[in-house]
Amino acid sequence: MPDHPRILGAALLAGALLLAGCGANPEEAEGVLDSQQPTGASAAAQVKDQALYDRLPDKVKQAGKLISVNNGSFPPYEIAGADGRSLTGASADMSEALGQILGVKIEHVTVDGLPSSLTGIASGRYDFAIGPVGDFPDRQKANDFVDWVKEYVVFAVPKGNPDRIGSVADTCGLKISVMAGGSAEAVIKKQSETCAKEGKPKIGVQSYKDQPTSVLAVSSGRADAFFSSQAPLTYFVSQAGGKLELAGKGQANGFDDLYQGAVVAKDSPLRDVLKDAFQKLMDNGTYDQIMARWGTSDNGLDQAGVNLAAS
């Protein structure tokens, strides 16, 4: 990359070349992302909770497994492998502990984009998504959310914040990258309409299917900022060699309280089982240990909840 800063190295460049069929990271990206994993001890093994196991749907008990879907890398929570089935990150550690408590294996499948994940869950093709996925009332029409983190939405910008972005109100006339189908995309498009109503230039919204490609747009100069969840952006900025920074922290940026969680089909019996399993991890300290290991403690909750966005 002679003409661009060597930001995130091969990880982001490879991220831009994610396999179209499944959305997983190619081998080049996987190797770099894996090298950035924390070196701390993994969470202690959990004891199977027979009462929770008994509450699982019969088809899950017969299969002995749950299938969790993701839409590609969302570090530090989800880091998808090149095979479309392996996963590392905080969510992978959390699902491992959940599987031990529930007494079943949790398998991971990577698909192309969040809409495909949500549609697959609603149709019964996948049992759930460990996420965390943004919980919003409109998404609750077809799915239920088991919320286990609270998130904030900010910007990743070039070092020095040359466009002086202090909040979403400062983005008129700028080129902003977002993840396609995500809540940030809807907010930034609405802000673009607000800019036009105020007689200001519209925002050049650039929608990408994954986080690495969205960040690469900023590092290569195609976009002025990437608008997304603070936890993964903090991760990417930490790997950028001082070339990127966060902007717009501490602002609402078009959002109310933003909860994220696991997703199941609407009224699925799996919903409350997962909530109680998450709560058990919170109560026994495993949840805090995993969140700390991946640098996401500030996003932690004391109580798991269902569809908190409706509260």
In CATH, the number for domain 37-151+258-310 is: 3.40.190.10
The arrangement of strands across the sheet holding 225-229 comes to: 204-208, 175-179, 225-229, 153-158, 244-247
Give pTM, 2 decimals. Answer: 0.73
Pure H helices in the chain: 9-15, 27-35, 50-54, 58-63, 90-102, 114-123, 183-197, 211-219, 230-238, 270-283, 286-293
pLDDT band at residue 86, thresholds of 50, 70 and 90?
confident
So what's the pLDDT on residue 20? 27
Whole-angstrom distance, CA of residue 79 vs CA of residue 299: 18
SS3 21: coil
Rounded to whole angstroms, the Cα distance separating 177 from 204 reads 8
Q: What pLDDT score was predicted for residue 1?
A: 32
Report whether pLDDT(24) > 60: no
Domains 37-151+258-310 and 153-247 share a fold: yes
Domain 153-247, architecture per CATH: 3-Layer(aba) Sandwich (3.40)
Structure tokens given for 162: 């040359």
- Which strands sit side by side in the sheet containing 143-151, from one edge to the other? 129-134, 258-265, 143-151, 300-306
Model pLDDT, residue 182: 85
Q: Coil, helix or strand for 119?
A: helix
Average pLDDT, the chain: 86
Strand, helix or coil for residue 103 = coil
Is a pLDDT exceeding 80 seen at residue 15?
Answer: no
Domain ranges of the chain: 37-151+258-310, 153-247
